[in-house]
């Protein structure tokens, strides 16, 4: 299916499995990967019915990423899943958290405390007593 490393030569992010020629190529690739001895194959950015048919067609497990719930397993990129992606989030991504906002708020709080000189405070530096082995 979609191969992120080839996006530029493919003319951008394009969904795979829309033409008969592309479907045939997907089958050839899946069969070749299976024949080569792979333990599984990733199907990415591929029309759902094509990914489901591929899963039934080959004997090794399929891992879907933007493909089909019928794949044997699923994967999401962690940055997409937890809301760290800055640019365009792919349609197939479900965001389970918004860590980008949490991290932005934490960084803003840290910067404000450094500017106001409230950080570091007494609990965040080593005192002379601590240097002598005292708490």
Q: Are 64 and 53 in contact (CB under 8 A)?
A: no
Cα-Cα end-to-end distance for the chain: 59
Catalytic residues: 44
Sheet order of strands, 41-44 included: 41-44, 62-65, 73-74
Residue 19: name the closest of 42, 46, 41 by CA: 46
Which string of b and e fits 85-94 if b means at least 16 CB within 10 Å?
A: eeeeeeebbe
Residue 55: name the closest of 41, 76, 37, 35 by CA: 41
């Amino acid at each position: 299916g979609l191969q992120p490393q080839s996006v530029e030569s493919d003319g951008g992010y394009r969904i795979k499995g829309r033409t008969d020629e592309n479907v045939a190529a997907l089958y050839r690739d899946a069969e070749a990967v299976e024949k080569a001895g792979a333990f599984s194959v990733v199907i990415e950015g591929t029309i759902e019915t094509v990914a489901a048919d591929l899963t039934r067609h080959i004997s090794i497990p399929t891992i879907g990423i933007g493909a089909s719930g019928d794949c044997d397993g699923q994967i999401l990129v962690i940055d997409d899943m937890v809301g760290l992606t800055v640019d365009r989030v792919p349609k197939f991504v479900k965001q389970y958290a918004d860590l980008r906002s949490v991290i932005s708020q934490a960084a803003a709080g840290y910067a404000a405390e450094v500017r106001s000189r409230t950080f570091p405070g007494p609990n965040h530096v080593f005192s002379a007593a601590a240097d002598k082995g005292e708490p």
